Amino acid sequence: MDISPINDSVRFEPNEKPPRSLLIGAGFQGALVMIGSIVLTVVIVFRIAGQPDDYISWGVFAALLISGANTILQAVRFWRFGAGHVLVMGTSGTFIAICAAALLQAGPAVMASLIVVSSLVQFALAAGLPTLRRIFTPVVTGTVIMLIAATVMPIVFDMLTDAPEATSDLAGPVVAAITLVAVLALVLRGPKSLRLWAPLIGIVVGCAVAAPLGLYDPQIVLDAPWFGVQLGSWPGLDFTPGHQFWALLPAFIIVTIVGAIETIGDGVAIQRVSRRRPTATDYRVVQGALNADGLGNLLSGIAGTLPNTTYSGTIPLVEITGMAARRVGIVVGVIFIVLAFFPKATALLIAIPSPVAAAYVGILIALLFVQGMRIVVRDGLDHRKAAIVGLSFWVGVGFQNGVIFPDLLGDGFWSVLLGNGMTAGGLVAMLLAAAMELTGGHRRRIRLKLDEQAPQQVDNVLRGFAESLGWNAADTNRVTAAAEETLAIVSRADPGDPETPRYLTVRARQESDGIELEFASTLDGENVEDRLTYLSALPPVPDDGEVSFRLLHHYASSVRHQKYHGLDVVTVSVSAA
């Protein structure tokens, strides 16, 4: 009997086709929730820098157009670009401070050039993700997701009281409370058929209550033109960068790396909420998300608008509605592109009162925080990982709230870099993960041809390594047996071209309670981790192909399988008795 856990909240998985009415409804809600951030972030940054209205209009138009096209790319997944999941793309809030500084100090053309150059970092990170896997670990990505929630939630709290001066002091809290109750009632106790519509119903109810209380401003909609594109406002690029370009470039690269960590976390988290049966993370999806993100930044730089990023709010939105079908992403992208040409329709969404938006976004951010916790806990939380998570999170919260050495940071580069909690905490998490990797215990490495001689070669190396650690014969035999079964599984995987010789890199490293073995090669088969997860669902009498999996499950304390483009890494941990 199949006893594997089922996530009943997922109504449609990525490759399934929902009914047209549900598809359009989910797409419209996704666009409704995200479009305000895309538009307002551009408007805020450009107004801070004192840019003219025609350039602001161009920046909003370009941001919507690129966000729409990139959201579609994330959904359809072309070659190595895109996640193949619902990942809504939009203007990156991480770049607000640094882009405002670039506009003020050097102008739009230099800012655009900086975005173009720094976007190349994300392509490099996507290609080098297998090498960086011990730094961008689930602990790091999960912590960054938690920090995203901690960084955004204070802004949400401020929005609760954002109301015109002429309105009552109670108007904001009342509208927010009614919106919150409407959404939660459907999410927690509403019928499954209405859960999909919870976001839209909550926003409509909130706006209906806000209008008579004076919180809904229709003038924003009335002043916006029906149709318009400021094509003549493109700032161009600066192909002769001066000292300002080189002074700002390091900050742009660092912020790009931090944004890439957010995308990695989103690429991991969206897989968690998109399947009925839990599966191991496919890092090819993460690489595709990173490549699409980099392409979005490149196009944003060429267009002269703010960089793109994946919107983490997509994950809780998918979790609430159960609509993980990637067709939803296509609909959201199409809506963004269409609305780019109709400023009045965009204004209709922007006019949603802040307390209404805050109530609903607050629910999304709370669920996002929990997703970060799940990623951290699922990876296994020992005392080292707990130290990384705890310290990184609270350092990020401290810098976000300006309580860690505020006088020493000043108003310059370090203030811009560390003033954002996600940036500060993310950098601490990366540095601690790198320190753990560099200061690890004893290790051995062997690269060999995957043939009939491989098992004996690996056995000899591992026996010598275990003996150097003082392991007894029984523990040594357990390590070599686990390695033998892993090799048997790897050897049977579809090699692709049978004429091309296959090579395997085996790494052994000392852990606090045992030895960690890492097998890196090119495989074209199923995920070993998933196969082991569902062993209990298989018949009690195995066939020949299951024996190695069952024996590996017996010898190993844990097994992880990470699939990348062109490389598979199977990590096997064996504990000492």
Percent of the residues in the chain that have a pLDDT greater than 70, as a whole number:
93
Bigger pLDDT: 69 vs 152:
69
What 3-state class would DSSP assign to 122?
Answer: helix
Residue type, 38: I
Q: What is the pLDDT of residue 460?
A: 93
pLDDT at 450: 85
Please tell me the least confidently modeled range out of 94-98, 211-215, 236-240, 361-365.
94-98
Place of tokens 């090819």: 284
pLDDT at residue 539, as a whole number: 61
Whole-number Å distance between alpha carbons of 91 and 46: 13
Q: Is the dihedral of CA 46, 48, 49, 54 positive or negative?
A: positive
Of the candidates 537, 538, 527, the one whose C-alpha atom is nearest the C-alpha of residue 561 is 527
The one-letter code for the residue type at 13 is E
pLDDT of residue 196: 65
| Residue whose C-alpha is closest to residue 564's, from 347, 343, 285, 370 | 285
pLDDT tens digits, one per residue of 467-489: 898 899 999 999 999 999 999 88
What SS3 class is residue 538? Answer: coil
> What is the structure's pLDDT at 2?
39
pLDDT digits (tens, 9 = 90+) for 513-561: 789 999 998 877 778 888 777 765 556 655 666 888 888 988 998 898 9
Comparing CA positions, the residue from 61, 81, 79 lying closest to residue 71 is 81
CA distances for 353 relative to 165, 170, 182, 210, 229, angstroms = 14, 14, 16, 7, 26
Convert the pLDDT of each residue in 343-363 to its tens digit.
887 777 667 787 887 887 788
pLDDT band at 89 (very low <50, low <70, confident <90, very high): very high
Structure-model confidence comparison of residues 122 and 384, the more confident one: 122
Listed range (9-13, 134-138, 300-304, 346-350) with the worst mean pLDDT: 346-350
Domain ranges of the chain: 20-380, 440-575
How buried is residue 71: exposed, middle or buried, by Cβ count under 10 Å (0-12/13-18/19+)?
buried
Q: Are 76 and 82 in contact (CB under 8 A)?
A: yes
Strands 443-449 and 503-511: antiparallel
- 10-32 residues labelled b (16+ CB within 10 A) or e (exposed): bbbbbeeebeeebbebbbbbbbb
Tell me the C-alpha to C-alpha distance, in Å, between residue 208 and each of 185, 213, 573: 17, 9, 57
- Topology given in CATH for the domain delimited by 440-575: Heat Shock Protein 90 (3.30.565)
User: What pLDDT score does 53 carry?
Assistant: 74
Cα-based distances in Å from 412 to 101, 251, 348, 408, 417:
10, 11, 38, 10, 9
Per mean pLDDT, which range of 17-21, 41-45, 318-322, 424-428 is the poorest?
41-45
How far apart, in whole angstroms, are the C-alpha atoms of residue 16 and residue 117?
Answer: 38
**β-strand pairing of 567-575 with 514-521:** antiparallel
Neighbour tally for 438: CB within 10 Å: 8
Average of pLDDT values for 367-382? Answer: 82
pTM over 0.85: no
Averaged pLDDT for residues 327-331: 95
Q: Of the ranges 15-24, 81-90, 142-151, 539-548, which one carries the lowest mean pLDDT score?
A: 539-548
3-class SS of residue 12: strand
Q: Under DSSP, is residue 43 helix (H, G, I), strand (E, B) or coil?
A: helix
Residue 297 has pLDDT above 90, yes or no: yes
Q: DSSP letter string over 268-306?
A: HHHHHSS-SS----BHHHHHHHHHHHHHHHHHHHHHTSP
Residue 221: pLDDT band by 50, 70, 90 thresholds? confident
**DSSP type of residue 185:** I
